[in-house]
Structure 1
Amino acid sequence: MELAIGIDLGTSYSSVAVVRNGRPEVLADDQGNLTQPSVVAFLEQGGIQVGHPARALMGTDPYNTVYSIKRLIGRRMDDPEAQTAVASFPFRVTAGPNNHPVVELRGERLSVPELSAYILRLMKKIAEARLGQPVDKAVITVPANFNDAQRESTRIAGRIAGLDVIRIINEPTAASLAYGYRRNYNKLVAVYDFGGGTFDFTLLELRDTVFRVMSTAGDMFLGGDDFDEALATAVANSFWKQTGIELRRDVVEWQRVLLACESVKRELSRRARADLSVKKVAHTAKGVLDLSATVTRELFNSLCFDLVRRSFAVVERALNDAKVRPEDIDDVVLVGGTTYIPLVQASVEQFFGSAPRTEVDPETAVALGAAIQAASLMAAPSPEVATQQTVLLDVLPHSIGIVAAGGMVEKVLERNMSIPVEQSRIFSTSRDGQREVRIRIVQGESRRLEDNTPLGELVVGDLRPAPRGEVEVLVTFEVDTNGILNVTARDKDSGRIYEKSVKVSGELDERSIANIALRQGR
């Protein structure tokens, strides 16, 4: 029987799951690991490591070890958020075709989808080894706040990895599936999703097997990595005061400090204090220096309090959009490794007035939900799955509009509209004899063009010369169940139809995708 898998392609860690005999399960590698670091390393002697072996190289070869690449997927180099990410990476990132980022590793220039594909290919390999059969179909999850370009780039990464991506779904929505599967809840549920690189908050109404998203909001640059950075910065400042040595100037040693701080963060989720130790962190005229410190949970909480508070600004935005109060929510589901932090759990309980639910593991909930959705999308689902077919009614995370006269943006599709959705607008010529209409499409909430993300341009040409306003063009904006936009235009005078799938234009063409997939598959 053909099986489809669910993949949680995370910023820091990824995992893969499947539904067998009606039961969703996360698939472990041959070492028993349920999650894999989203890390890719290019070795000096040739060859590529992915996952745990690659993560082991972050502290010794940071220039050729790529991590958190999800921060760049679907972005251009002139994007301020891309610039923020690039500035934090030790590996070299430069502008490629159409200003898309490329990573330079040992003389090779690799696109972001290509690097993401290595992680997806590892997920595929783990699934095939555990299931004992080929796996080609997958549902891949993305942050709820991902825009159109980021979703399309994720789909391209899947294709390079040899996967037929049958659906892209939002991570919090997937987690709600794992929480509500076979339980037939009738509840208002909040998903508080604090991952390694992003934070999302989603409100859903669960009615038996129907999961309807009411609102969603997110912060693309708030995650567990920031907690590591906060602790590492405090430790580095203390070391500088004691020794006069600035650890952040040495890329290799700074990576070692960050990795040690991540381990301490995890330890502090279980204990009130933890020891931090990095051997031979600095070399001086007097000899080699080690870094050691005892970190208390109280100190860690004080360093990270503002980061946790930032998450609740996102929560309040989503609640306001849905016109819901915290006390209206029946259950809060925690998702993402950062929610293991006691400060986060206590803050959630304080804000909502009740303890969050613990039915699902925060680190594997997203992959499990993706697997449930994958199983339900198969042409012939198993009888166990068929009786629990779920209906997902998701929403648009960003408004989509067009650039009107004067350079202002007019919204066509509003944020938090249910998808799939379709809207049409009629445009007419603005001057006598006009032979073409250019429709510039953007994504965002502002009326100001410069505050929005450009998605593309649709040109309707060969119009009949006529007085202004006489020739009309019907433009239809459609967002599918993957959250991907398609725009069509029809010249009402001639009946000609123009179509544009708005995606990451020019990053990788069809030939490049096929060639990269072939090269990776060898």
Structure 2
Amino acid sequence: MGRAVGIDLGTTNSVVAVLEGGEPRVIANAEGSRTTPSVVAFAKNGEVLVGQPAKNQAVTNVERTVRSVKRHIGTAWTQEVDGKGYTAQEISARVLLKLKRDAEAYLGEEVTDAVITVPAYFEDAQRQATTEAGRIAGLNVLRIVNEPTSAALAYGLDRGGKEQTILVFDLGGGTFDVSLLELGDGVVEVRATSGDNHLGGDDWDQRIVDWVLQRFAVDLSKDKMAMQRVREAAEKAKIELSASTTATINLPYITVDGDKNPLFLDETISRAEFERITKDLLDRCRAPFHNVIKDAGVEVGDIDHVVLVGGSTRMPAVNELVRGLIGKDPNKGVNPDEVVAAGAALQAGVLKDEVKDVLLLDVTPLSLGIETLGGVMTRLIERNTTIPTSRTEVVTTAGDNYTSIPVQVYQGERPMTADNKRLGMFELTGLAPAPRGVPRIEVRFDIDANGIVQVSAKDLDTGAEQSMTITGGSALPEDEIDRMIRDAEEHAEQDRRRREEAELRNTAESLLHNADAYPPDQIAAVRKALDDGDMDALKAAFAAMRP
């Protein structure tokens, strides 16, 4: 029986993910990247290139390279190559087929089923066409899922069972969606959605292209190779302007003048100028947001979290817009490029009966704890503990001047959290800035007779507190519990060494933090052993240390 995957089929880039141990894992492609450009090229020798190889040769093969086809799916659009017309479904199927093969190479087995995501604002024809693309690629499409819903599913299962209202702001390469959802008890309910199927990062790129062409002395519009170079440079400039205040577009030998002398294109665009020429695009994001709030019948203040999806949300102006509309910062805990595919993989697992509600605990068959420095599993409640029960642990910060810390909750018997099951996480904010080791943070686990688990963290100095409730029964079946216990026994020695190594590294970093208290040669020995990863040398360096 083949495996099922989740696929985010994007305008600019696509992503594939699979469930492993109940958790979604994004699969890297054959080129080593976790995102695959949604680009297909037909080489003159008959070879069909997909992804980064297709994008790399676009400048020299403009007419036979197809990109952003998602904007045409569900329409009568075709691309003619060598006298043959290719539909949007066929081009999309090439991208899906590459993702399928990359997943099969990673898994070592056939991939037969997939959940594929689409913009929430896609109409029926576009959804049908996406299903057809999957079938052409040899995939049984289990379900077409809206991208914001998929993102909320992945986000919600990572945040525990607490009821919450989520706004997903999804600005991709070619489409824009806003969705308002309610999460609770494993249910993801869409309250309202709105969007624009013709608004995305490609439009921001085009504004830079237009700006460059207006400033350049020669008309490049008829030169397809030159235009492709400008388009690629515009995309790079847009990305660069998310981190820098200026970006330079330098294209040597872009064309020639009337005397056949080579001309160079060299323009610098500021972030302020970029935001000026794209202001109307940004303003188009406002109406869908207001429509969603109105249709859902909620107040802006009712929104608990804002989740940004799509690479275009990295633009500072988009972040500022969201902050202005909502009155709070967007959540930074998800990868906007990958969260949709992760949610699709979870949905595939649900449909294939591979996923149970991992946040429901019936009893305490496995230990419960939190992750501390070095990836160590600090247990608060041991397996087979009688409930109701309560346990507390006081922890501190690993660095200076932390104003917030993540509290990650795990279930399992292994000493390192990487080998256990993550149940969820929350952020404790409002910490008073202080040197490492000074704050006192009390983490408390409470399990009542109904099996409802509440995890809270409180700064004993400021009183700041945050909590997460996990309800229900064990997320893992009995055979999985037995396997984890056996696994823990079989790997006891390996686990001991890894835990010892983590503790040695933590001790070394603490000593280096207080380097002034020790002779320079002793500190140098510790630093060298730590950099080399030589634990024996690190032990010897500790033994030789004298204040």
State TM-score, norm by structure 1.
Answer: 0.67
Deviates more, 1:55-64 or 1:119-128: 55-64
1:181 to 154, 157, 172: 157
Distance 1:213 1:321 in 2: 11
Displacement of 1:2: 4.8
Question: Letter of the aligned partner of 1:370 in structure 2?
Answer: A
Rounded to whole Å, the distance in 2 between the matches of 1:34 and 1:325 is 37
In the TM superposition, what is the alpha-carbon distance from 1:61 to its structure 2 partner? 1.7
Partner of 1:226: 203
Deviation at 1:207, TM superposition (A): 1.2
Helix, strand or coil at the partner of 1:248 = coil
Deviations 1:46-98 (A, max 9, x none): 110000011122222221101111111112xxxxxxxxxxxxxxxxxxxxxxx
Q: 1:129 to 1:387 in 2, by over 3 A?
A: farther
Letter in 2 for 1:346: E
Q: How does 1:31-430 map to 2 (within 5 A)?
A: 31-75=31-75, 100-182=76-158, 183-239=160-216, 243=217, 245-286=218-259, 287-379=261-353, 381=354
Task: Give the secondary structure class of the aligned counterpart of 2:291.
Answer: helix
CA-CA distance at 1:382 after TM superposition? 5.3
What residue in structure 1 maps to residue 479 of structure 2? Answer: none
Is the 2:346–2:355 contact (alpha carbons within 8 Å) kept by the matching residues of 1?
Answer: no
Asked if 1 retains the 8 angstrom alpha-carbon contact of 2:350 and 2:356, the reply is no
Q: Return the alpha-carbon distance in structure 1 between the equivalents of residues 31 and 95 of structure 2.
A: 17
The equivalent residue for 2:26 is: 26
| 1:422-461 correspondence runs (5 A) | none
Deviation string, structure 1 residues 421-459 (Cα, Å, up to 9, x no partner): xxxxxxxxxxxxxxxxxxxxxxxxxxxxxxxxxxxxxxx
SS of the residue 2:32 aligns to = coil
Gap change, CA 1:294 and 1:221, over 3 Å in 2 = same
Find the aligned partners of 1:2 and 1:47 in 2 and give their Cα distance: 28
Residues 382, 213 of structure 1: alpha-carbon distance in 2 compared, 3 angstrom cutoff = closer
Q: Deviations over 1:228-266 (max 9, x none)?
A: 001111111011xxx2x1222322211210110100111
Distance 2:290 2:83 in 1: 46
Contact 2:161 2:359 in 1 (8 A): no
**Which consecutive residues of structure 1, in runs of 5 or more, have no partner in the other structure?**
76-99, 389-522
Task: Give the counterpart letter for 2:61 in structure 1.
Answer: D
Q: Which has the higher Rg, Structure 1 or Structure 2? A: 2
Q: Aligned to 1:259, what secondary structure does the other structure show?
A: helix
Query: Is residue 186–residue 357 contact of structure 2 (8 Å, CA) maintained in 1?
Result: no
CA distance in 2, matches of 1:333, 1:121: 29
Q: Relative to 1, partners in 2 of residues 1:319 and 1:257: Cα closer, same or farther, differing over 3 Å?
A: same
Q: Which has the higher contact order (CA 8 A, sep 6+)?
A: 1
Task: Verify the 8 A CA contact 2:157 2:359 in the aligned structure 1.
Answer: no
CA positional deviation for 1:366: 0.7
CA contact (8 A) 1:44 1:106 kept: no
Unmatched 5+ residue regions in structure 2?
362-547
Match of 1:95 in 2: none
Q: How far apart, CA to CA, are the structure 1 residues paired with 2:304 and 2:356?
A: 31
Q: Which amino acid aligns with 2:9?
A: L
Distance in 1 (alpha carbons) for counterparts of 2:279 and 2:87: 36
Change (3 A) 1:218 1:334: same
Whole-angstrom CA distance in 2 between matches of 1:292 and 1:277 = 4
- In structure 2, how many angstroms separate the alpha carbons of the residues matched to 1:290 and 1:386? 59
Q: Deviations over 1:171-229 (max 9, x none)?
A: 01011111111422311110000000000000001112100000001101100000000
Offset from partner CA, 1:467-511 (integer Å, 9 cap, x none): xxxxxxxxxxxxxxxxxxxxxxxxxxxxxxxxxxxxxxxxxxxxx
CA distance in 2, matches of 1:161, 1:2: 15
Say which SS state the counterpart of residue 231 (structure 2) adopts. helix
CA contact (8 A) 1:277 1:291 kept: yes
The one-letter code sitting in structure 1 at the alignment partner of 2:113 is K
In structure 1, the residue matched to 2:492 is none
Q: Would you say the 8 A contact 1:21–1:384 is kept in 2?
A: no
Does the Cα contact within 8 Å between 1:64 and 1:105 map onto a contact in 2?
yes
Secondary structure at 1:275 match in 2: strand
Structure 2: distance between partners of 1:226 and 1:383? 41
Amino acid at match of 2:214: N
The answer for the alignment partner of 1:485 in structure 2 is: none
- Superposed CA deviations along residues 373-432 of structure 1, whole A, max 9, x for unmatched, are 0011104x15676969xxxxxxxxxxxxxxxxxxxxxxxxxxxxxxxxxxxxxxxxxxxx
TM-score, normalising length from structure 2?
Answer: 0.64
Distance 1:111 1:29 in 2: 25
2:545 alignment counterpart: none
Would you say the 8 A contact 1:376–1:386 is kept in 2? no
Conservation of the 8 A alpha-carbon contact between 2:176 and 2:196: yes
Contact 2:29/2:99, CA 8 A, preserved across alignment: no
Which residue of 2 is the match for residue 438 of structure 1?
none
Distance 1:384 1:186, change over 3 A: closer
Answer whether contact 1:188 1:204 (CA < 8 A) is retained.
yes
> Aligned-pair RMSD on alpha carbons?
1.6
SS in 1 for 2:154: helix
CA contact (8 A) 1:22 1:384 kept: no
Q: Secondary structure at the match of 1:222?
A: coil
Equivalent-residue separation in structure 2 for 1:31 and 1:46 (angstroms): 21
Deviations 1:244-297 (A, max 9, x none): x12223222112101101001111111222211122212113411111112221
Aligned equivalents of 2:13, 2:356: Cα separation in 1: 32
Secondary structure of the corresponding residue to residue 63 of structure 1: helix
Aligned residue type for 1:156 = E
Task: Give the corresponding residue for 2:531.
Answer: none
How high is the sequence identity, in percent, across the aligned residues? Answer: 44
Aligned counterparts of 1:373 and 1:189: Cα–Cα separation in 2: 18
The runs of at least 4 aligned residues of structure 1 exceeding 4 Å deviation read 382-388
